Chains A and B, each alone.
Chain A
Amino acid sequence: MSTSLLYALVGIGLFSLSLYGLIVHSHLLRKILALNIMGSGIFLVLVALAGRTGEAPPDAVPHAMVITGIVVAVSATALALTLMLKLAAETGRAELPDEGRE
């Protein structure tokens, strides 16, 4: 077991936990949090696996991808939060309508 393997497994754990959270919660702010944690899990796997270069410095390509990914994720979060606020202003609740139940 190496450090990169440890963090890659943590990344997968984060992905699965937030998959559960994403499905279970109907509140949209919680879904946004879950998606963000999910993204962090994926980034962690990418960067951890980039470290499998032995003594050489880690692979720079996944690092570059993750940096842009972090910046894009925050702007997507801002858009999602605005959408949620718009929905809450229209319907009075921060949830998607569930037609099967109501």
Chain B
Amino acid sequence: MEALTLLGWMFDGLLGLGLLWVAWRALTSPDLFRAIVLFIAFGLLMALAWVRLEAPDVALAEAAIGAGLTGALLLAAFAKLSSITASGDEKQADSARIYSHQLYWIAAVALLVAAGLGYVILSLPPYAAGLSVEVAANLQTSGVSHPVTAVLLNFRGYDTLLEMVVLLVALLGVWSLGGPAIGRGSAPGPVLDMMARVLVPLLIMVAAYLLWVGAHAPGGAFQAGAVLGAAGVLLLLADWRPRAGLMGWPLRLMLVAGPAAFVVMAALLYMVEGRLLAFPPAQAGMLILMLETAATVSIGVTLAALFLGGRPQSDKEHT
């Protein structure tokens, strides 16, 4: 037992130091591409940290987003940026702006912030149940047996509804900014084609599995949606282009399915139960699964569309 605790501490200590060190190198690396790769490595380490903190749900989300989407987004943006600006430009500009005496002041402020926050953390009571008692007490009536899913879809359903809207607004922002999405010229080649053909169906199956398992174990709409989004990104990278007809209202329908399902459900429950999103315990499990399915589709399609960038145009809009 002794050796076990010691090893646990070693792991946590190394992981903590590693997180800080990688973050520092990512923030200060003179080479932008290197900073991005270090940031991807940082995401990997974060997923391990979630595991150690007994937060497998968060680890799932981080694994899907950190390993799949953020890296792809950053790399694609970096490539577009290098084609717009001269690549050497950034290095001189960055160092010329700030004088060294200013750097000391900024470092001092950051240190002060760290010391202040550290003091607050250390003075917190070592035991605090938070809302875990309330969650455990009401889990019976929530329709699911996994606390995190119960919080997301039932107890704090409003939050999740608004988060779905935030995702949609972010996409609308991207669409209102960019022109049509541009693809890379070179052909994907047989190997990438094969990878996409094998991995995409598997990703979709895993998304469905996570959605289903979320009722009683780590998983759920957000993780499943992120996996679905990664499948979309892989398809886009393999130069898969959906038929133009799909890019009109079918795409829009999938994008709003999640928020719309929430709003319709809230209105119906208001009429039946007298309160917005108040699930009757007997049907709660079923209703939550329906909501989650719609949310998964919306999150996945939104994330893939965010990667695509510009607003996809259907045939009608061209003419």
Q: How large is the interface on A (under 10, 10 to 19, 20 to 34, 35 or more residues)?
A: 35 or more
Q: Are B135 and A67 in contact (CB under 8 A)?
A: no
With most chain B CB atoms within 10 A of its CB, the pick from A16, A53, A88 is: A16
- For A1-45 the 0/1 string (1 means CB < 8 A from B) is 011111111101111111111011111011001101100100111
Question: In this complex, what residue of B is CB-closest to A52?
Answer: B128
Q: Are B53 and A48 in contact (CB under 8 A)?
A: yes
Q: Are A21 and B226 in contact (CB under 8 A)?
A: no
- For B117-130 the 0/1 string (1 means CB < 8 A from A) is 11001101111111
- For B97-130 the 0/1 string (1 means CB < 8 A from A) is 1100001001101110110011001101111111
Check: B148 CB closer than 8 A to any chain A CB.
yes
Contacts of A47 in B (CB 8 A): 50, 53, 55, 58
Question: In this complex, what residue of B is CB-closest to A40?
Answer: B46
- For A70-92 the 0/1 string (1 means CB < 8 A from B) is 11101111110111111011001
Q: Are A78 and B174 in contact (CB under 8 A)?
A: yes
Q: Of the candidates B12, B52, B90, B113, which one forms a contact with A15 in the assembled complex, judged by CB atoms under 8 Å apart?
A: B113
What's the nearest-Cβ distance from chain A to residue B277, in Å?
A: 15
Contacts of A101 in B (CB 8 A): 97
Check: B309 CB closer than 8 A to any chain A CB.
yes
Q: Are A16 and B28 in contact (CB under 8 A)?
A: no
Q: Are A10 and B54 in contact (CB under 8 A)?
A: no
Q: Are B39 and A53 in contact (CB under 8 A)?
A: no
Q: Are A27 and B132 in contact (CB under 8 A)?
A: no
* B residues 179-237 in Cβ contact with A at 8 Å: 220, 222-223, 225-226
What's the nearest-Cβ distance from chain B to residue A97, in Å?
A: 12
What's the nearest-Cβ distance from chain B to residue A3, in Å?
A: 6
Contacts of B284 in A (CB 8 A): none
Check: B160 CB closer than 8 A to any chain A CB.
yes
Q: Are B152 and A67 in contact (CB under 8 A)?
A: yes
Contacts of B274 in A (CB 8 A): none
Q: Are A85 and B77 in contact (CB under 8 A)?
A: yes
What's the nearest-Cβ distance from chain B to residue A74, in Å?
A: 5
Contacts of B90 in A (CB 8 A): 27, 94
CA distance A63 to B52 in the complex (A): 13
Contacts of A93 in B (CB 8 A): 85, 89, 93
Q: Of the candidates B27, B84, B302, which one forms a contact with A37 in the assembled complex, judged by CB atoms under 8 Å apart?
A: B27
Q: Are B222 and A67 in contact (CB under 8 A)?
A: yes
Question: In this complex, what residue of A is CB-closest to B163?
Answer: A68
**Could you jot down 11 A-B contacts, CB within 8 Å?**
A3-B53, A6-B16, A9-B16, A14-B20, A15-B113, A21-B27, A37-B23, A56-B129, A61-B132, A61-B135, A64-B148
State the A residues within 8 Å of B (CB).
2-10, 12-21, 23-27, 29-30, 33-34, 36-37, 40, 43-45, 47-54, 56-68, 70-72, 74-79, 81-86, 88-89, 92-95, 98, 101
Closest 10 pairs (CB-CB, A-B): A21-B27, A60-B147, A16-B114, A59-B130, A78-B306, A75-B170, A59-B132, A64-B151, A81-B77, A20-B110
